[in-house]
Structure 1
């Protein structure tokens, strides 16, 4: 499954973006990388940052092993 992965600069610029009651918060995957699901690209509340989100690297999700 592909997910979005920001570099440090992108993470600092986008994490916590808030519009209406929608907030973008990156989560860690099993490789300790910040990620967001591709569905944020389709969320109309994130239209203002769509171009920035679309620039994020697409990586394969690493499951968290407990």
Structure 2
């Protein structure tokens, strides 16, 4: 199962799921599914989220 640190990074950057969703062009539900491990992001989405948090895809997602 995919593990993510999105929630942790969102807290650090003080972003809501809605804020992050707007920044990367997806729906808020998508961010929720990612955080709960119910959705595997496309490479582009993973890279876009990593860019928002100024980190690497590898640091954000653990397979």
TM-score (norm 2): 0.37
Higher helix share: 2
Higher strand share: 1
Q: Please say which structure displays the higher CA radius of gyration.
A: 1
